[in-house]
Structure 1
């Protein structure tokens, strides 16, 4: 069988750059191990699930090897779109995209996992596999050695009776987990915490950034929103106005705005399925679910041009394990696209980043509203 053409995979519509590629050695090791295990243990192709496939580098080689029927979960909608594009480019068919739930894992005997960055996300995934997969399931988890920790083994050991790290190869390592332990009555996620200083309850699934905490950048922007509540109300509260929490995470900004401006029409959107599930739970916990629409989307691509009066933005500065401003710049450009003339984007960002100049170029006149030793808050008015 010919080698799979990994080099033809693209990240698009995600950020593309010379130092960012759509696969790594971990993907190759996982695929090799999966093909060998499927043969050795007689695992039917419909009993294989893939979790954390960035852009198709796990599912598509399996499909190309004749293991069609693979079930796939990707947290990021940008990854889902990239997988679909890559599959079309390669003429690959035979995978089934699903959420992280029982339908993904029911009767699965082999699960491939690109290890996530966070332990909470790994805990939710491990619980799901142990809870819903077959009793003889084998979990093959892999990562780059430089990003792996003993704590990951410890998390897996809470859900599997046997956890065996493999010898490192090509700067990657696989972990084999078998013998799932009985699942507790209720899943461990979402978790929730009250934040009385802001009058908020935050809920979070394992893959949501900062969990049920309020990260320090969001805190700075929430403080500014509280101090300038009349200006926010004038923008978001007038008849027909729309406000967007772009890259909403667990929904702290959207929920806070909805509580402060009851007449506001608010949209909270994120490309992460874990974030969207978290934000929906946050809106329900704060009694604003009927006034905030939460959507899974990539950089607000489904929001019409020139239709928004206010954007709240706390852009990321990481792409996976890489520090890269591209993700933040995509959201800045998205905010500029969706704002109507005279609309505003309120942004918080790490002060060392050059986002103020990017905002001025993409949106319009940009002024500083607040600055701390680490973060800057700006207001930009659409020209």
Structure 2
């Protein structure tokens, strides 16, 4: 039954390609390692975290008849893929954010290890704070993406962290002994940026564990900020597409008091970080943070200006498909005459694509690593 289930899983609405898969050996290994606990788990006691496309959640439901599964997926695309793959199994699970409602009373947590150590730390801390004291956490991933630092991070929230045997280039980590009373909240982290590229002397950044670049200013955003004075001066509405911690959105709002900014990201951590960054800098009323897949919820021809520092990977795989889908959607959302400003690693060569899909595109600037382009919607 498991192989039949796994064979039917799709990545949609995420990018689909021959080298991209909806299930891998680590999903199978986590379920196999957890089999004894899953056999005895009661409804409402199982939590699944970081399920990429539904293999863990639906595997537990079909192979072990689990019910009342609570699921947390930072990625909206993963959440939508699970819903699409679930079909008749949808009543067996519910989606939650990272809080007590997700984890209260949980005795078993199955987790796909996130790539970011900060994200893993925030997840582990939440489990230790909110789950049952006797909770067992079985986390796993592909060995090439795992490091000993993951054991150390889990060790901040659990007394015992042990590695399982490797299989098909995958491995699990089992964590026991949640330090419920000893764990102080470590997220969100905050920092005060004092960078010459910013339109203000100081900008406070709030970052949850899963937000790209954390509470720092990444190099691509830093370069794009230098072009802020050139961006469509008469814009009344702007979109920060892939907002991360909200630095671009907040910088725009601070530089232009009459501008309304929508900051869009598919990550729960990013959206929360953006809201907190906007509030910390006094522009929360003019920066709307929204969790969306690309610009799916934005009305057609509704934005004068879109800024974007797009990702260059899909999950753990380097793949331009996610970024290209985001950029293509920008054409629909831009008003005629609207501008799309993009920063990207120069070797990716997005300019021709932008010319074809958005409108006339010129290079606004280039340094040793990044290129900034501006496209005009005709």
Shift in alpha-carbon separation, 1:218–1:287, aligned structure 2, 3 A? same
User: What per-residue deviation string (whole Å, max 9, x for no partner) do you get for residues 307-364 of structure 1?
Assistant: 1110001111011111111111011111111111111101100000121111111111
Given that 2:2 and 2:62 are in contact with CA atoms closer than 8 Å, whether structure 1 keeps it comes out as: no
With normalisation by structure 2, the TM-score equals 0.96
Residue 281 (structure 1) aligned with residue 279 (structure 2): no
Q: Residues 247-258 of structure 1 correspond to what in structure 2 (within 5 A)?
A: 247-258=242-253
2: distance between equivalents of 1:183 and 1:370?
Answer: 52
User: What per-residue deviation string (whole Å, max 9, x for no partner) do you get for residues 248-294 of structure 1?
Assistant: 11101100000000100110010000000100010011110001110
Which consecutive aligned stretches of 4+ in structure 1 deviate over 6 angstroms post-superposition? none
1: distance between equivalents of 2:2 and 2:140?
Answer: 24
**Which residue is 2:96 aligned to?**
98
1: distance between equivalents of 2:208 and 2:253?
Answer: 22
User: What per-residue deviation string (whole Å, max 9, x for no partner) do you get for residues 61-101 of structure 1?
Assistant: 1111310211000011111111111112x655310110111
Given that 1:235 and 1:310 are in contact with CA atoms closer than 8 Å, whether structure 2 keeps it comes out as: no
SS of match in other structure, 2:227:
helix
Query: Superposition RMSD on alpha carbons, in Å?
Result: 1.3
Residue 190 (structure 1) aligned with residue 193 (structure 2): no
1: distance between equivalents of 2:170 and 2:142?
Answer: 4
**How far is the alpha carbon of 1:102 from its aligned partner?**
0.6
Given that 1:306 and 1:339 are in contact with CA atoms closer than 8 Å, whether structure 2 keeps it comes out as: yes
Q: Name which of 158, 179, 200 aligns with 1:160.
A: 158
2: distance between equivalents of 1:345 and 1:219?
Answer: 17
Residue 246 (structure 1) aligned with residue 224 (structure 2): no
Return 5+ residue gaps in structure 1 as ranges: none
User: What per-residue deviation string (whole Å, max 9, x for no partner) do you get for residues 118-167 of structure 1?
Assistant: 10001001100111000100000101011111000011111111111011
With normalisation by structure 1, the TM-score equals 0.94
Residue 13 (structure 1) aligned with residue 13 (structure 2): yes
Return 5+ residue gaps in structure 2 as ranges: none
Q: Residues 1-383 of structure 1 correspond to what in structure 2 (within 5 A)?
A: 3-39=3-39, 42-65=40-63, 66-88=65-87, 91-184=89-182, 186-197=184-195, 198=198, 199=200, 200-226=203-229, 228=230, 231-232=231-232, 234-236=233-235, 241-383=236-378
How many residues are treated as equivalent by the alignment? 372
1: distance between equivalents of 2:343 and 2:194?
Answer: 22
Given that 1:269 and 1:297 are in contact with CA atoms closer than 8 Å, whether structure 2 keeps it comes out as: yes
2: distance between equivalents of 1:235 and 1:120?
Answer: 39
Shift in alpha-carbon separation, 1:144–1:304, aligned structure 2, 3 A? same
Given that 1:314 and 1:347 are in contact with CA atoms closer than 8 Å, whether structure 2 keeps it comes out as: yes
**How far is the alpha carbon of 1:114 from its aligned partner?**
0.4
1: distance between equivalents of 2:160 and 2:108?
Answer: 15
